[in-house]
Amino acid sequence: MILSRDKRNDLAAVYDRYADMLYRLALSHTQSKEDAEDAVQDVFTKYITVSTKFSDMEQERAFLIRATVNRCHDLMRRKKIREHDSLDDITEIPSDENEEAKDIMKTLAQLPEKYKTAIVLHYLEGFSVEEISGMLGISLSGAKMRLSRGRELLKNLITDEEKSDV
């Protein structure tokens, strides 16, 4: 597929605007740098081929976030089918983060999908509850409930880990 100069410039702008956020979201789901990179690449490939014109940036962002979450689900499902014990499959967190951040990311990875997505979008990406409800296609009270339950589960997981370390 050959893209016009305008289309390439538009794609570059969209990539610059969303790539880091989508990567962090994918990394929180896959816990693997390579899988997260693959997911983001696949999402932008899909973005290029989609014929839908987005009415605004919010609709475009919601599409990219939903596509990223769905692609991560696909990757994890495929990985589970081919699951085996190998040193290559060890969960990897970026090494430039401190130990506490690594521990939090590992704990976050243990949350159920719907809570993890809401927490990442709100606390790591800074989206409001209203924005999250629109992106995920759920009610405002549903988004608030996912954040509330996600925080509670995260708190319980951290408390359990602290107890087991003692």
Percentage of the chain exceeding pLDDT 70: 83
In this structure, are 4 and 84 located in the same domain? yes
pLDDT tens digits for range 10-27: 889 999 999 999 999 999
43: left (phi over 0), alpha (psi -120 to 50) or beta: alpha
Residue 25 neighbours by CB under 8 Å, 6+ apart: 65, 68, 69, 72, 117, 120, 121, 125
Shared domain check, 57 and 105: no
In terms of pLDDT, which residue wins out, 97 or 109?
Answer: 109
Question: pLDDT at position 94, please?
Answer: 47
Q: Which two tokens stand for residue 123?
A: 């606390």
Q: Which amino acid, residue 119?
A: I
Residues 65 and 142 both lie in one domain? no
Instruction: Note whether 81 and 107 are same-domain residues.
Output: no
* Residue 148 sits in the same domain as residue 103: yes
If asked whether residues 100 and 81 sit together in one domain, one would say no
**Number of domains making up the chain:** 2
> 58: closest CA among 3, 130, 140, 144?
130
Mean pLDDT of the chain: 83
Based on the domain organization, do 46 and 124 belong to the same domain? no
Q: Is 84 in the same domain as 105?
A: no
Q: Cβ–Cβ contacts within 10 Å for residue 54, how many?
A: 15
**Read out DSSP for 53-93?**
PPSSHHHHHHHHHHHHHHHHHHHHHHHHHT----GGGS---
CATH of the domain at 58: 1.10.1740
pLDDT digits (tens, 9 = 90+) for 133-150: 998 889 999 999 999 999
Dump pLDDT digits (tens) for 59-80: 999 999 999 999 998 888 877 6
Q: Let me know whether 19 and 85 are in one domain.
A: yes
**Same domain, residue pair 1 and 63:** yes
The answer, yes or no, to whether residue 50 has pLDDT greater than 60, is yes
Q: What is the mean pLDDT of residues 107-122?
A: 89
Q: Which residue, 20, 114, 9, 17, is CA-closest to 58? A: 17
Are 88 and 156 contained in the same domain? no
Domain that holds residue 119: 96-166
Specify the 3-state DSSP secondary structure of 11. helix
Q: What is the structure's pLDDT at 8?
A: 73
Read off the pLDDT of each residue in 46-53 and give the average, rounded to a whole number.
84
Q: Are 38 and 75 in contact (CB under 8 A)?
A: yes
CB count within 10 Å of CB 42 equals: 18
Question: Do 101 and 124 belong together in one domain?
Answer: yes
Domain C-terminal end among 92, 117, 139:
92
Tell me which residue has tokens 């081929």.
Answer: 49
Q: What is the CATH number of the domain that holds 119?
A: 1.10.10.10
Whether 5 shows a pLDDT value over 50: the answer reads: yes
